[in-house]
Amino acid sequence: MNERTKTGIEILWVAGLMGILGNVLLRETPWGLNASLFVAVFVAAMAMLVVRRKPEFLTRQNIALYGAMVFFAAMFSWRDSEELLVYDTLAILTIMGVLMLPSLKLSVQNSGVFHYFTGFIWSGLNSAFGPAAVLSSDIEWETTLKTAWSKHLVSAVKGIAIALPILIVFGALFAAADAAFEGMIERLFNESVETVFSHLLLTAVFFWLTAGYFRGVLFEIGLNKIAVAKNGLSINPDSPHSSAFDKVRAEETVNADALPGNATILEHINKEDAPKPQQEPEPKKRDWQNFDNSFIPQAFTLGAVETTIVLGLINLLFLSFVIVQVPYLFGGMELVQNTPDFKLAEYARRGFGELVAVAALVLPILLLSHWLLRKDKPANEKMFRVLAGIQIVLLFVIMASAAQRLFLLTGNLGYGLTTVRLYPMIFMIWLAVIFVIFGLTVLRGARQYFAWAALWSAFFMLAGTHFLNPDEFIVRTNLRLMQQGRDFDPSYVDDLSDDAIPALLGGLSAMNSDDQCSVKSFLSRRRTLAEAENDLRTWNWSRSAARKDLALAGDSIGMSGCLDGGNSSTSGITYEH
């Protein structure tokens, strides 16, 4: 049994266990502790296989990625925000894609955005189609089935196949003979046929996806063996174990039938050599680690002139916008309010999303422009650095304008803070960090470190957002604005998760009666859902804490005062969190 077969069998065993575990844990929603445990075991199983079969893949970078994967999985047991859990899922999937790069013979730390995207696609393809390769080609079944445990397994499957129809026949006869037995059978199968099918389906899905992904992680691609075989002789002339005699013998074996006139080798050597035809140069092997634009026709690359025109025109457009924005940025709120025909609310609401989109589009434009630069002249790189640096400076001014619009939109004269306003702001802060990284890596000739640094900046930003607790931050911000004179808007509360419940309970007594009724309706619905969730697998710290706070609130969040039109009260209970 060769090593590839052993690896394939181990993958199937581990995938089978992960399939069962996934069915047991992840079938219950909403995900919480179950998702954290599943991913933790998944990472442990992957690390075990790597240690056993590919120890060279267990680098410090990969260990750090394993830790990040477990961390974001643990967030399922902490926060209840749907937005955060979606981003946690994306982070985990991104890490799974990056962990594919060693099998593609690429360095995780020195790869670019293109390589990360390739790893993500490759992980998806392996998860979908990899198990078929494991079952059909990776495992040599003829050799495997000769082992003792395989014979026992085949015998067990054969025994089940023979016994199953007999059990069905006798079971049907017993059911016809006794009503009580028939009732037991009907209750068992009528109530659980769909459940049994769902168990089998989920187990199969998790088994299939896990087996495919682990195959992609462990099996390298592009491993070609060069061998020479003639008359039963098999020699690999490129093997480090082949002697010089072996290589000559292999060459003689291949060319023995090609000697003219049945001449001996010595006679053939003594003859005048015929002119050798000119051999075509071997095609250059592409270095996918340092993926550049050398294979693209020169017409599609950029020189100093093209770079100046493209980035120069974009900079002029950015500069014109900055000139308009500078008075509002540095003139203060008084200038903004006193400008004729200037509608503050329209200005704030209209511009924020568009400016965030502008900031997000600049990065791929700069990365692609830099990749398309021709490397034949140093002036091309210098011109790009100057124009890209100017563009980043102008972009920071534009991002400051976007931040100002958010402050107006969510301040005393605006409409308050919501998730659709907070998360774009967090995203823009991350973009600012990314452009700093861009300047420290790409503009300084170290592009190979950009993607790795950007990836970890995203991880740290997402981790920091969990500690911020966005839903609670939104409620506390709006409660503070309410105390400063702005009306509290309860309409956004329905979009929040259990993370916000402690803050809502703490600020309930300060709201007017109408706002209290709206918030109490939300809290009552949450309490009903919390009472229905009693499965340990779905445990989550935020939901557990909210359940305790709601139980402590008791009748203070009842709707009786709202239904009869009276003022609702909180019975004098104050919650401090």
Quick one: 108 and 65 in the same domain? yes
| pLDDT score recorded for residue 382 | 93
Residues 469, 499 contacting (CB under 8 angstroms): yes
| pLDDT score recorded for residue 570 | 39
Residues 510, 482 contacting (CB under 8 angstroms): yes
Quick one: 480 and 454 in the same domain? no
Quick one: 91 and 200 in the same domain? yes
Structure tokens at 402: 């976007």
Quick one: 455 and 484 in the same domain? no
Quick one: 455 and 312 in the same domain? yes
Quick one: 452 and 480 in the same domain? no
Domain assignment of residue 569, yes or no: no
**Among candidates 33, 76, 30, 79, which has minimal Cα distance to 501?**
79
Quick one: 208 and 126 in the same domain? yes
Domain assignment of residue 512, yes or no: yes
Q: Please name the amino acid found at residue 511.
A: M
| pLDDT score recorded for residue 361 | 93
Domain assignment of residue 484, yes or no: yes
Q: In a 3-state reduction of DSSP, which class is residue 141?
A: helix
DSSP track, 53-78: H-GGG--HHHHHHHHHHHHHHHGGGT
Q: Measured in whole angstroms, how far is the alpha carbon of residue 161 from the centre of its chain?
A: 42
Domain assignment of residue 157, yes or no: no
Quick one: 379 and 426 in the same domain? yes
Residues 446, 478 contacting (CB under 8 angstroms): no
Quick one: 233 and 198 in the same domain? no
Quick one: 323 and 417 in the same domain? yes
Residues 389, 439 contacting (CB under 8 angstroms): yes
Quick one: 206 and 352 in the same domain? no
Domain assignment of residue 185, yes or no: no
Q: Can you list the residues of the chain whose pLDDT is less than 70?
A: 1, 144-155, 157-158, 161, 185-186, 188-194, 222-287, 330-350, 561, 563-577
- φ/ψ bin of 234: left (φ > 0), alpha (ψ from -120 to 50), beta (otherwise): beta
Domain that includes residue 120, residue range: 3-147+192-218
Domain assignment of residue 274, yes or no: no
Structure tokens at 403: 């931040």
Q: In a 3-state reduction of DSSP, which class is residue 315?
A: helix
| pLDDT score recorded for residue 290 | 78
Long-range contacts of 328-336 (CB under 8 A, 24+ apart): 328/401, 328/404, 329/397, 329/400, 329/401, 329/404, 336/408
Domain assignment of residue 31, yes or no: yes
Backbone phi, then psi, for 428, in 5-degree steps? -70, -35
Quick one: 203 and 236 in the same domain? no
Domain assignment of residue 426, yes or no: yes
Tally of structural domains, the chain = 4
- φ/ψ bin of 349: left (φ > 0), alpha (ψ from -120 to 50), beta (otherwise): alpha
Write down the pTM of the prediction. 0.80
